[in-house]
Amino acid sequence: MSRLWLLLLLVACSHEARPAPTAAQGKNPEKAAAEALPPPQPMPRTIPPDPRYYASPNIPDPLSCLADKDCISDAIVDTETGCCVAQSDPMPQTWAWHAWVTEHRLSPDCHDANCKPVAVPATLPRACLLEARCENQRCSNSCVATDAGVR
């Protein structure tokens, strides 16, 4: 029995009282660091807007970029609803626009969309069509004008 009392005494003494954490101490360090950052600057708008891309108020610009990491090359959606894939050829676009369109296509806004199948090309696209980059604050592919016809 004395061993039990000794064990309880050791456990009780080993836990020291700690002051309650302050608001700053209680935060996740990553979250606190993120809150200290200034809000991200909006991307510059593409002027004039490219008529091949779905555009709606309050969505990211499909082509405006600041660095190569802002760009991707993928299929684009129709310009009327933004719900259906318009063509199978990869087109340059921003990651922000691509993510917004993906969420839009999964939203209730597109549940009733009647999308037509898109023809699958017989060959893989040229590598330059898949290599998106930011050039003059506008996403483009790495094809030269004579290779792809459109940059």
The pLDDT tens digits of the residues spanning 15-61 come to 444 455 555 555 566 666 656 555 455 555 656 778 999 988 889 99
Task: Give pLDDT, residue 123.
Answer: 84
- Alpha helices, DSSP H, located in the chain: 2-14, 23-26, 29-36, 95-106, 127-130, 145-148
Whole-number Å distance between alpha carbons of 132 and 88:
16
Beta strands 71-74; 132-135: pairing state: unpaired
Task: Give pLDDT, residue 150.
Answer: 45
What is the C-alpha radius of gyration for the chain, rounded to an integer number of angstroms?
A: 27
First to last CA, the chain: 85
**pTM for this one?**
0.65
